[in-house]
Chains A and B, each alone.
Chain A
Amino acid sequence: QQQVKQSPQSLIVQKGGISIINCAYENTAFDYFPWYQQFPGKGPALLIAIRPDVSEKKEGRFTISFNKSAKQFSLHIMDSQPGDSATYFCAGPGAGSYQLTFGKGTKLSVIP
């Protein structure tokens, strides 16, 4: 049973545009929602995370928007740059207290 559903699978954005990646979760007990960024040949790096007590969190060009009633959260990348081209994973807590369950990933390509 997939606990975190991520879309789109791939995304092409013009340089300077806004990239939006969406995730939906099923388990209402989730209380921590991180986003990871992974470049080819590298391990995933924690990008930004949010708890459901806030509706939005911004760090530089990266913003998480959280909609608790819809059980959805999204990553917005403002002023997208070619260096942002990577695969992005959303995640939520897994079955165990300290586990994470990951979405299937979104491959973002930012073209000049």
Chain B
Amino acid sequence: SAVISQKPSRDICQRGTSLTIQCQVDSQVTMMFWYRQQPGQSLTLIATANQGSEATYESGFVIDKFPISRPNLTFSTLTVSNMSPEDSSIYLCSVEYPSTADNEQFFGPGTRLTVL
């Protein structure tokens, strides 16, 4: 399985500020995904990030609010912009390993964000 790290692991931020979350993978992967998990809830896909192309956003999520970078095959960032308390969630990156036959996705440990 993949070894995925995220930074920061948690943060407390003020309303109106922005936070950039980093996701690092131990090997090259094509598909990376960013999810949001609100307290006690399921996982909701924010966007799919492929290296060399613009991220694809799901309904309800826009690039101005959640800009994503994917500069290479092992790294991605998600920025939560102009934050409000409603953005308080766990943000998770995941990857799909190209060597697996199925759509096996592996998740990072998550970034727990609290917006005051």
Contacts and interface: CB of A to CB of B under 8 A. Distances in A.
B53 to A, nearest CB: 13
A49 B103 CA distance: 10
Contact of A44 (B1, B41, B43, B48): B43
A41 B111 CA distance: 9
B104 A46 contact: yes
Given A43-B109, A49-B104, 15 more contacts: A34-B102, A41-B112, A42-B110, A43-B4, A43-B107, A44-B107, A46-B1, A46-B104, A49-B102, A89-B43, A94-B45, A98-B96, A98-B103, A99-B48, A105-B41
A102 B102 contact: no
B48 A98 contact: yes
Interface residues of B, number: 23
Interface in B83-105: 92, 94, 96, 102-105
A34 B43 CA distance: 14
Question: Of residues A32, A43, A46, A100, which shows the largest number of chain B Cβ atoms within 10 Å of its Cβ?
Answer: A43
Interface in A55-112: 89, 93-94, 96, 98-105
